[in-house]
Amino acid sequence: MPRQALEERVTEMKAIVIEEHGGPEVLLYKDVPDPEPGDGDVVIRVGALTVNPGPDALTREGRFGLPGFKLPHIAGIDPAGEVVAVGDGVTSPAVGDRVVVYPIISCGACDWCRREVGEQYCRQWRLWGAQTWGGRAEYARMPARNVVALPDGVSFEAAAAAGISYNTTWHGIVDRGGLSEEDTLLVTGAAGGCGVAAIQIGRLYGARVIAISGAEWKRARAVEIGADHAFDAHDPDWPEHVREVTDGRGASIVLDSVGEASWPLSMSCLDQGGRFVCCGTTTGSAMTFDAREMYRKLISMHFWHNGTKRSLETLISHIAAGDVDPVIDSRFALKDTADAERKLASQDHFGKIILLPPAPGAPRETAGGAADGLVRT
């Protein structure tokens, strides 16, 4: 059938383009061709997306390491927006639908895909927005099967925040870790996207939550959103404090994606039969532990890199119901993406950093221009 479209668009759009690897200064705000949907594709007008350390910052630096990447590149793996065009063969979603991107592109044919255990198990999985052009633009194209519908009450900002950090965390501590109200959940890096998500999800499930973070104001915010205790990451005795408030037992689940800098400490806090869950390696990926102690304490370890499309749908339903309210730290106009990445690198944030493309009909401008009336919080 012919392409369906919600609106007539100019032949070019504004986007953040990487033409060479380097610091935030290599992020160029420029015109690129407006995407057209291929067979089975949709094009969305991007309403919001977030800034992520690995697929955004490390991709810019040339250190993310996924195959098939090439320059020039447009990053951004978690946009939410409105469908403005669909390609041949697409029956859902429809033009005008509000959606968020689920970024794991699976083959749908391998043995793991046939088991339907999760798209990230696919033997040939690709990450949309890291191995393809992504959502740091006014418009973005993706396979129609890689979007999740949004109820009217779920904002683009909340959906974008849920797309990676919250969904990844949900899969780890709920689907893999089996989180329940009987658990004590220890969260390191508690002010980052996954850490904040873990606190809120832990609270949703009625678990006891212990947060580890370096800044006093971040620890206060952690308690404000649901942590029962918050300890200083710079205090080498924080594992002892964890044991003190758990009557010497420690935590039944540890979420630690900080990496080498904290793994020995957080592992020492695991209770008998504890679960160690990890989806990141911010400070390094080399892991050393005493296997004898781990098997004698019946410790299990879980590693993963994203949630499933099904878990994202579950999360969106919880957001719509008011059970989870993703924490937004600050908002930046798309043209100021370099500043947003500098804020991420400074670690002076709590929750997600949002990027907002120009509103439909807004004046065309270059990076460093007026902020279109955008209020940053």
The residue that leads in pLDDT, 3 or 376, is: 3
Spatial distance between the Cα atoms of 253 and 72, rounded to a whole number of angstroms: 41
Q: What is the pLDDT averaged over residues 176-194?
A: 96
Nearest to 186 by CA among 118, 251, 106: 251
pLDDT at 373 (0 to 100): 33
User: Confidence class of residue 144 from pLDDT cuts 50, 70 and 90?
Assistant: very high
pLDDT exceeds 70 at position 26 = yes
Per-residue pLDDT, 7: 65
Asked if residue 8 has pLDDT above 70, the reply is no
Residue 373 has a CB neighbour count (10 Å cut-off) of 8
Q: Which CATH code for domain 176-303?
A: 3.40.50.720
CA atoms within 13 A on the CB side of 136: 35
First-to-last CA distance in the chain? 45
pLDDT interval class at 362 (50, 70, 90)? confident
Residue 123's identity, in one-letter code, is: R
Weakest mean pLDDT among 54-63, 65-74, 283-292: 283-292
- The tens digit of pLDDT for each residue in 198-233 reads 999 999 999 999 999 999 999 999 999 999 999 999
User: How many residues appear in the chain?
Assistant: 377
Which is higher by pLDDT, 304 or 203?
Answer: 203
CA angle 303, 308, 312 (to 5 degrees): 120
pLDDT in tens, 105-117: 999 999 999 999 9
The band of 4, judged by pLDDT with boundaries at 50, 70 and 90, is low
- H, E, C per residue of 214-232: CCHHHHHHHHHCCCCEEEE
Domain 4-149+327-356 has CATH 2.60.410.10: no
Q: Where are the chain's structural domains?
A: 4-149+327-356, 176-303
pLDDT of res. 375: 32
Place of tokens 């002076």: 348
Q: Which of 122-131, 340-349, 353-362 has the lowest mean pLDDT?
A: 353-362
Identify whether the C-beta of residue 81 lies closer than 8 Å to the C-beta of residue 45.
yes
Per-residue pLDDT band at 251 (split at 50, 70, 90): very high
| pLDDT surpasses 70 at 9 | no
Of all residues in the chain, the percent with pLDDT exceeding 90 is 82
Reported for 234-243, long-range contacts at CB under 8 A and 24+ positions apart, including other chains, are: 236/265, 238/212, 238/265, 239/265, 239/266, 239/268, 239/269, 242/186, 242/210, 242/269, 243/269
- What is the Cα Rg of the chain in Å? 21
pLDDT at 149: 98
Cis bond upstream, residue 33 (ω within 30): no
Q: Is a pLDDT exceeding 60 seen at residue 151?
A: yes
Please give the pLDDT value at position 115.
95
Q: Is the pLDDT of residue 318 over 60?
A: yes
